[in-house]
């Protein structure tokens, strides 16, 4: 199996470990043990742990922003803002929590997190502007929507599907309300 492992296999294991056990578990030896290979396999694919961490953060960006944006963009017949809220508020967010915790302790993770936050905010603002919200208000509403998402992501309180839908409906109505 060791001969067949790719860098992506290591990254996938790292993302899974990060979501389950946090950033302190992202070490070559325990990851190698979890996969069932020697630590040498890790260093075959990554120059050092920093390179591995960078690859995990790149994968997180792909999963947590780019794939979601592509999915929303593909939903052309739908209200894209409503689709974005549905997808993001309905996702399992253990990886989001783990990356945010990591960013509180590591400058590289913090820089990656800030870049993702900016990407997400810019995208939300663009959707609001496309929905007819004035440019001077769209940024403010995008920030409010994003804070609502982060609050939900960091909360341990699960909502019933009906209550969550009511919250999303209200967020959408507030966000797209015509400016006075």
| Residue 180 pLDDT class (50, 70, 90 cuts) | low
The helix (run of H) or strand (run of E) holding residue 26 is none
Which pLDDT tens digit goes with each residue over 13-29? 999 999 999 999 999 99
Query: What is the rounded average pLDDT of the residues 92-100?
Result: 93
Which residues have a Cβ under 8 Å from the Cβ of 115 and sit 6 or more positions away? 61
Is the per-residue pLDDT at 72 higher than 90? yes
Which residues have a Cβ under 8 Å from the Cβ of 85 and sit 6 or more positions away? 145, 168, 171, 172
Query: What is the rounded average pLDDT of the residues 72-88?
Result: 89
**CA 80/CA 65 separation, integer angstroms:** 15
CATH of segment(s) 2-176 = 1.10.357.10
Which pLDDT tens digit goes with each residue over 109-127? 999 999 999 999 999 999 9
Is the per-residue pLDDT at 65 higher than 80? yes
């Amino acid at each position: 199996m060791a001969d067949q492992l790719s860098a992506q296999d290591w990254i996938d294991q790292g993302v899974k470990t990060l979501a389950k056990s946090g950033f302190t578990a992202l070490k070559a030896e325990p990851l190698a043990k979890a996969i069932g290979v020697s630590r040498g396999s890790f260093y075959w694919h990554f120059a050092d742990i920093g390179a591995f961490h960078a690859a995990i953060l790149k994968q997180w960006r792909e999963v947590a922003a780019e794939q979601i944006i592509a999915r929303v963009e593909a939903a052309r017949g739908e209200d894209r803002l409503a689709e974005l809220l549905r997808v993001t508020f309905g996702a399992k967010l253990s990886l989001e929590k783990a990356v945010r915790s990591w960013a509180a302790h590591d400058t590289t993770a913090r820089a990656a997190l800030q870049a993702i936050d900016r990407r997400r905010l810019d995208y939300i603002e663009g959707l609001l502007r496309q929905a007819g919200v004035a440019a001077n208000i769209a940024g403010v509403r995008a920030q409010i929507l994003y804070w609502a998402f982060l609050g939900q992501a960091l909360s341990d309180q699960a909502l019933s599907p009906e209550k969550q839908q009511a919250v999303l409906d209200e967020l959408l109505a507030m966000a797209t309300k015509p400016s006075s």
